[in-house]
Structure 1
Amino acid sequence: MKKSYLSRRQFLQVSAMAGGALALAACAPAGTPAGSGSEETAAGGDAAPAAEGATVSYWAGWGQLEAAINAMLETDEWKSHMEGLTLEYRGSVNSEAILTAVAGGTPPDCHSNHDYPNLYTRGAVLPVQDMIESSDIVNKDMMLQWTWDYAFFGGDMIGVPGIESYVQWGLNYNIDAAEKAELDVENPPATWAELMEWHKALTTKDDAGNLIQLGLDPNDAMGGDVDFQTSSYGIKWYDEDTREFHLDDERMADIIATTSEFIKYAGPDQFAGMRQVQGNGAWGAAFEAGVQTMIIEGYWHPGETMIAKPEIGQYNRATWSPVSEDRRDVKMQAVNAHFVQIFKEAKNPTGAFRLGEWFNTVTACDIIFKEVGWIHPVKEFIPMIDPNAFPGLDFYVQSEQDATEWHLLRRCPIHWFVKDQWDALRDQVAREEITPDEAAAQLNQRALDEWDAQGLSS
């Protein structure tokens, strides 16, 4: 099955919903569609009617989950747990579709892989702590501590943890490309300066100056995330307790300058042209295409790459992500969590919660790992993971024990706004239109303005 790369946490960077609706019955043969979905609207479409309470509608930002959903429907455990409920599933649903549905009062019952904190601060979703108190499946002791802790914002548990929630940072590199560039694959870069040397060795152009191969895209995947780049320089850009921003900082200017050099070396126009080639601009796709040879990504990268492009995945290796020179000995790792988040206007919140419970079963975890390469840290499931199942996964599993510094990600309600502004300003720095200091100051001011515009100051 062709993977959709509209998926990986890029919902704010796309403008139309891809993919259709799959109405999947727990009692029907797996994968049997109840409607075409291809002509339905982004905000919900005309779904086939069902008896009240018999359907659970679930939208996900990911495009990769469909294979796992289909496999789950074949199991007796699914049929027993869902008790005959029909699952109406849509994949590759972007944020515009979600926000349009919320604004129109027609959201699905639940969703995953969209901006959880933002939807919570908008008052669009239900806290679930009371539901979880009565659950026989989901509780604090059955999952790794960070996943449970991450679910709480402002004293509320904003969703049922599930689907995938594991370690988030690692430098992945293509050892075949690195060896051809005469780099020492057993001694990967530890700092941004060392990474730049690898970037230069791995970036090649044709006689016309077009990019043939790129070392690292500093905008791509987890490496392009505002949380990662600031943390690599020891910056806490947003304080969740005080709700203050710290983006106008000398170290911010340093990391903006550092990462813009990767774009400068490739050539801003050539870099932009490479990203505009069909598929290369999507999350992680340039690595899978063999165009990009390094990527800072989460634990899911080895499995996703091996499943989608085994000819590339076989050469994947992972190590610690780069840091500033003064933090050379820091081994950073990060976590967040994904949820089944239940909308306040859900028609079937009880069924939605039941779906959230399902994703915390060992059966669901095992299917998702095998079909997609994702890990949800249910304690009973973790020992079942083969760290050698996919090239590079062993680093991530071991990093849980070896990391010396941990970070919780994406706690700011305007995280994705700041990320978009960060990318735009870095491009201006790479083109020498503004200085790194100016970029940091503008980024801080834009964050403050957006915070006020969303009514978050009160």
Structure 2
Amino acid sequence: HVISRRGFLRNAALVAAAALAGCAPKATPAPAAEKPAAEQPADEQPAPPTATPQPAAPAPKERIPIQYWLFWNQPSACEAAWRATDEWQQMEADGLDIEFRTGAGGDAGKTAVAAGTPPDVGCLGPQLDFALGGVLLDLNPFVDASDKISRDSFFTESYENASWRDMQFGIPAMECYVRLGLDYNERMVGEAGLDPDDPPETWEELFEWHEKLTKFDAAGNLLQFGIDPYDAMGGPGPHYASAWTVSMLWDFNDWWNPTDASITINNERFVESLETCAEFIRLMGVDNLAGVRSVEGQGTWGGSYNAEVQAMIIEGYWHPGETAKEKPEVSVLNRASWVPVPAWRAGDKVQCYTSHATSLYRDGTHAKEAFPVIEFQQSKAHCDIAFAEIGWLPALKEYIAGVEPIFPGLDFYLRSASEATHRYTDPRMPISTFVGDQFYVYRERVYRDEMTAQEAADAIQQAVEQEWVESGWAEKWGA
């Protein structure tokens, strides 16, 4: 019999203790005290009281580790405050140990999902693609059983946008609400001789502002520009949580017809949008714009706007809050208004409702136990912290009704929800990611004058039709 090192040390300690006890000197007994005359004999003393049995301590709750991932980085600023809320503390009291991770999207998130090692709960970005791939759970049963989430509490477009046929693959959360506004720097606009109180309403008027706001040095290098039409919300292709903005502004959002699976991308309105946006970039110079973007801090999605190199940007409601947090001195100059539309639909006020959605991942170890995280995302405590820290809003009607426009420009977005004449959402086409990829490639070929706008639209149409067949969707559509 071989004894372990730990067993050896334990036995050695016992032997040593016994040896010490045997070697210790015996104590001398104390003399017995005399018993007082009136004292009762020992065997007649009253018995000591019996201790009342105490109930056994409850067994500790089994801890359930929950992996909660988001693709954004910004929510990391909220983590400490979220963990301190009563709602988060209750989740922990109920046995959940939540590991919160941000910046978990992109290739890393897709790889984890493909490898069967996704988080239990979260939003990694392409949630519709994940739903179509069968890796998300249907949340309808969870919503039916919840006393914290009601379908009617959400903006209809936002809630339905996180569904596929009869499956609710996500719940709108974290970053939702309206997507479209023209934000502009009132100082830069005023210095160009333009009126900040009279923003452009058509793309023709927007181009006039763009010309007056664009500046070059003596060598022809771009110093400042009006707007990059493909920056921020102007740039994405179809996406369940974003918007193919040109399809909404030029009113061809019916390019995909789910009834008969017809695709009509190469329509005259799309062609017009490609040519119109190309004119803005040609004025600046393609390589000039790329040079500006290459400078640290002058990138897209607000970088060059914060640097006051870019005067206007097409953004969603989050822009006022994010700008206030990132560049307060620019935030105070921020104005917002309707995104201009083509002259042939002048007067239309366009708004888009989509939402990012949080899902439960089928292969998550404890996905079915993680729904309380989604319920927490709908709480006032959660939403208050997200709004205060990063300027983000949910898709909850009651919450939005109580929001104060504390960031410059936010008042427009709050008003736009009720003042819009045209409300759009993403049509959720199964290969929308592919459509977006083609849009990125061919729009550049147009503004580089490598092909006409019509040729680009025809090329996208052909590529999408081919992918529709080769992906198998043409065969299984309607099944």
TM-score tier, shorter chain, comes to 0.7 to 0.9
Q: Deviations over 1:373-396 (max 9, x none)?
A: 011132442233102x00000001
How far apart, CA to CA, are the structure 1 residues paired with 2:176 and 2:416?
15
Out of 341, 353, 358, the residue aligned to residue 376 of structure 2 is 358
How far apart, CA to CA, are the structure 1 residues paired with 2:418 and 2:312?
24
439-448 vs 324-333, which moves further:
439-448
Cα pair distance change 1:431/1:148, threshold 3 Å: closer
- Structure 2 residue 253 is matched with structure 1 residue 253: no
- Structure 2 residue 424 is matched with structure 1 residue 407: yes
How far apart, CA to CA, are the structure 2 residues paired with 1:393 and 1:113?
27
Q: Which residue identity does 1:398 align to in structure 2?
A: R
Counterpart position of 2:107: 96
195-204 vs 108-117, which moves further:
108-117
SS at match of 2:271: helix
Give the greater-gyration-radius structure (CA).
2
290-299 vs 230-239, which moves further:
230-239
The structural deviation recorded for 1:414 is 3.0
Out of 133, 139, 145, the residue aligned to residue 144 of structure 2 is 133
Q: Which residue identity does 2:121 align to in structure 1?
A: C
Out of 294, 298, 309, the residue aligned to residue 316 of structure 2 is 298
Counterpart position of 1:72: 82
Counterpart position of 1:232: 249
Cα pair distance change 1:80/1:330, threshold 3 Å: same
Q: Which residue identity does 1:120 align to in structure 2?
A: A
Matches within 5 A, 1:100-139: 100-139=111-150
Cα pair distance change 1:452/1:95, threshold 3 Å: farther
How far apart, CA to CA, are the structure 1 residues paired with 2:473 and 2:430?
9
The structural deviation recorded for 1:316 is 0.7
142-151 vs 229-238, which moves further:
142-151
Out of 141, 147, 169, the residue aligned to residue 158 of structure 1 is 169
Contact 1:191 1:324 in 2 (8 A): yes
SS at match of 1:412: coil
How far apart, CA to CA, are the structure 2 residues paired with 1:276 and 1:245?
36
The structural deviation recorded for 1:339 is 1.4
Contact 1:288 1:305 in 2 (8 A): yes
Cα pair distance change 1:290/1:240, threshold 3 Å: farther
Counterpart position of 1:26: none
How far apart, CA to CA, are the structure 2 residues paired with 1:218 and 1:332?
16
- Structure 2 residue 212 is matched with structure 1 residue 207: no
The structural deviation recorded for 1:213 is 1.1
Q: CA RMSD in A?
A: 1.8
Cα pair distance change 1:336/1:263, threshold 3 Å: same
The structural deviation recorded for 1:132 is 0.7
How far apart, CA to CA, are the structure 2 residues paired with 1:132 and 1:430?
47
Cα pair distance change 1:308/1:442, threshold 3 Å: same
Instruction: Give the length in aligned residue pairs.
Output: 407
How far apart, CA to CA, are the structure 2 residues paired with 1:194 and 1:159?
40
Contact 1:173 1:318 in 2 (8 A): yes
SS at match of 1:56: strand
How far apart, CA to CA, are the structure 1 residues paired with 2:345 and 2:208?
18
- Structure 2 residue 181 is matched with structure 1 residue 173: no
Out of 175, 196, 209, the residue aligned to residue 185 of structure 1 is 196
Counterpart position of 2:450: 433
SS at match of 2:178: coil
115-124 vs 277-286, which moves further:
277-286
How far apart, CA to CA, are the structure 1 residues paired with 2:184 and 2:427?
25
Cα pair distance change 1:453/1:110, threshold 3 Å: farther
Q: TM-score if structure 2 supplies the norm length?
A: 0.81
- Structure 2 residue 304 is matched with structure 1 residue 286: yes
Contact 2:120 2:370 in 1 (8 A): yes
Q: Which residue identity does 1:112 align to in structure 2?
A: C
The structural deviation recorded for 1:53 is 5.9
Contact 1:366 1:381 in 2 (8 A): no
Q: Deviations over 1:72-109 (max 9, x none)?
A: 11122211144342222222223311221122111111
The structural deviation recorded for 1:52 is 8.3
Q: Which residue identity does 1:71 align to in structure 2?
A: A
Q: Which residue identity does 2:288 align to in structure 1?
A: Q
How far apart, CA to CA, are the structure 2 residues paired with 1:395 and 1:258?
26
Cα pair distance change 1:320/1:214, threshold 3 Å: same
How far apart, CA to CA, are the structure 1 residues paired with 2:278 and 2:310?
17
The structural deviation recorded for 1:113 is 5.0
Q: Deviations over 1:9-45 (max 9, x none)?
A: xxxxxxxxxxxxxxxxxxxxxxxxxxxxxxxxxxxxx
Contact 1:333 1:407 in 2 (8 A): yes
Cα pair distance change 1:348/1:52, threshold 3 Å: farther
The structural deviation recorded for 1:403 is 0.4
How far apart, CA to CA, are the structure 1 residues paired with 2:170 and 2:446?
38
How far apart, CA to CA, are the structure 2 residues paired with 1:145 and 1:122?
25
Out of 356, 359, 368, the residue aligned to residue 338 of structure 1 is 356
Matches within 5 A, 1:408-423: 408-409=425-426, 411-423=428-440
Contact 1:53 1:347 in 2 (8 A): no
Cα pair distance change 1:281/1:245, threshold 3 Å: farther
Q: Which residue identity does 1:143 align to in structure 2?
A: F
Counterpart position of 2:26: none
Contact 2:63 2:95 in 1 (8 A): no
Contact 2:360 2:368 in 1 (8 A): no
Counterpart position of 1:451: 468
How far apart, CA to CA, are the structure 1 residues paired with 2:81 and 2:471?
41
How far apart, CA to CA, are the structure 1 residues paired with 2:147 and 2:111?
35
Structure 2, unmatched stretches of 5+, are 1-60, 238-243
Contact 1:211 1:271 in 2 (8 A): yes
Q: Which residue identity does 1:62 align to in structure 2?
A: W
Q: Deviations over 1:148-168 (max 9, x none)?
A: 222221111111221122011
Q: Deviations over 1:284-334 (max 9, x none)?
A: 222122221111111011001111111111111110111111111110111
